[in-house]
Chains A and B, each alone.
Chain A
């Protein structure tokens, strides 16, 4: 168990003894646990707002089935009847917990700062379901103090009202709408099994093209083929790619990372970022890295797979969340237990799967 470096209270079996009774290590740890009730959510303009829908935060599969098979009235009746039964965690749960862990560490280092993650629940559900959701949030001790239950209305307006930095939903239509409005968004899927992830270090993995970067290079490939793509990328190595929908999110992560670096926490920073791309280090990778550098952004690890499947490497990295624009990769990642999200952006959405740069690169390298 790590002791937070800023805590000044020393613990030892002996020191804890005042009245003669022995305090165990466990007792001492619980005395030190920070109390949560006095925390206030940060103001939206200062914080990094992550909006999650109810179905990605919690597992509502059973209820979803009732809704699809028996309609809204039955669904609401069921929810109200089970109001005190908390839902079990959904795919975004460990991500949200990791965000809170980062917040705790940020608060310790910068007690006055409001530059924190702020998780907001944004759901289409009616307020009738609200009580069950609030009970569940309390049961799991999540720090979510803001929510919108729109009763069926589109959440997009509210996303903008809260300066949302990232929106996660299980509904691809809403995600698409959000992207159209310039909000970073992704459709989250539930893997069959979820591999265990860190509780103290937030790990976020990104695909490159059409996620961090624009889809301009993929367009070249689709229009002119693989060789042209290689030529093009090499020729334009020093010309930064245009930005993609999740560049902004990487940027805010980087800002928080710098706050940890400033306090000497570079080696074991509580936030770690990964680029997991099918680009190859030999040919097209340089342009990706140079682009990031030109934006003043750092990425902790860049993995150029040259077309190899992403699942195995993600299984090693264990990110809390992985963003990709191609369903083929999202599915591959999910199969191996990674919580993967689809970013429905760019040319890959309009051209059939399997014809991306990625797969062709493998055959050319062989």
Chain B
């Protein structure tokens, strides 16, 4: 589960620096009214699994983006592509959770940057959403820097599907300019993405909103 692995990152961060304040803060949000009725059991369930969720947020479907903003959410994780798209359009950076992430190894948070979207990129990504995307990336980059090259609980991977080596190159440079040093890079040059993704097993897929780093 993504939470477990985020917690692992937090633990490692604190190991490096017990005074560390740049930690992951996990908020669970749901718009499903049935789930909301089960709020007690959800809360208990997270406790039982040892997940440190700091806040629970139950909101109506039409308001969920407001809730995100009220809670100062910097990254919204969901398996629902539409939700992610909506949130991004409104300026909240979003990432898709791999539906199979439950089976992904939980010792290392694997973050995948795709230069073209799993969510379709839209022409009008606002300046605001780009800014929040960039600032979130910069923070991720900072977190990564706290660990060395080996044995890091966070791993960044770049996958570029369309475009050749030069577009991959410029994406690497843009990410570097934001302070994000990528560990692994795959330039597919048009080859299908499926086989690589199943090998990489990312927990988080960051695409739209991060897709236009050159601004």
Contact = CB atoms under 8 A, between A and B. Distances in A.
Interface string B164-201: 11101100110000000111111111111001100100
A149 B185 contact: yes
B76 to A, nearest CB: 26
B34 interface: no
Contacts of A146: 187-189, 191
A127 B158 contact: yes
Interface residues of B, number: 28
Contact of A134 (B165, B181, B191): B165
A131 B172 contact: yes
Nearest to A72: B149
A40 B167 CA distance: 14
Contact of B199 (A76, A134, A158): A158
Given A72-B150, A137-B165, A162-B191, A130 B185 contact: yes
Nearest to B163: A145
Contact of B196 (A43, A134, A149, A161): A161
A127 B172 contact: yes
* A-side interface size class: 20 to 34
A76 B181 CA distance: 12
A145 B164 contact: yes
A157 B199 contact: yes
A149 B165 contact: no
Interface string A108-138: 0000000000000000001110110010011
Interface string A40-81: 110110000000000000000000000000001100100000
Contacts of A41: 164, 189-191
Contacts of B190: 40-41, 43, 145
B155 interface: yes
B166 to A, nearest CB: 8
Nearest to A157: B199
Contact of B181 (A44, A128, A153): A128
The DSSP consensus for interface residues of chain B is mixed
A43 B199 contact: no
Interface in A139-164: 144-153, 157-158, 160-162
Contact of A150 (B150, B158, B184, B187): B184
A147 B149 contact: no
A161 B199 contact: yes
B191 A44 contact: yes
B164 A149 contact: no
Interface in A1-56: 40-41, 43-44
Contacts of B188: 146
A162 B166 CA distance: 20
Contacts of B150: 72, 152
A43 B189 CA distance: 9
B172 A130 contact: yes
B186 A148 contact: yes
B136 to A, nearest CB: 20
Nearest to B164: A145
B149 A158 contact: no
Interface string B25-62: 00000000000000000000000000000000000000
A42 B183 CA distance: 27
Nearest to B188: A146
Contacts of B195: 160-162
A73 B189 CA distance: 30
A127 B168 CA distance: 11
A160 B186 CA distance: 15
A41 B160 CA distance: 14
Nearest to B186: A148
A130 B189 CA distance: 15
Contacts of B185: 127, 130, 147-149
A152 B152 CA distance: 12
Given A41-B164, A127-B172, A149 B189 contact: no
Given A44-B191, A153-B184, A158 B169 contact: no
Contact of A151 (B164, B183, B199): B183
29 contacts: A40-B189, A41-B189, A41-B191, A44-B191, A72-B150, A76-B149, A126-B183, A127-B185, A128-B181, A128-B182, A130-B169, A131-B172, A131-B173, A134-B166, A134-B168, A138-B166, A145-B164, A145-B189, A146-B189, A147-B168, A147-B186, A148-B185, A148-B186, A149-B184, A149-B185, A151-B155, A153-B184, A157-B199, A161-B199
**4 shortest A-B CB distances, which residue pairs?**
A161-B195, A127-B185, A145-B189, A151-B184
Given A127-B158, A147-B185, 9 more contacts: A73-B148, A127-B181, A127-B184, A127-B185, A130-B172, A145-B190, A147-B186, A147-B187, A161-B199
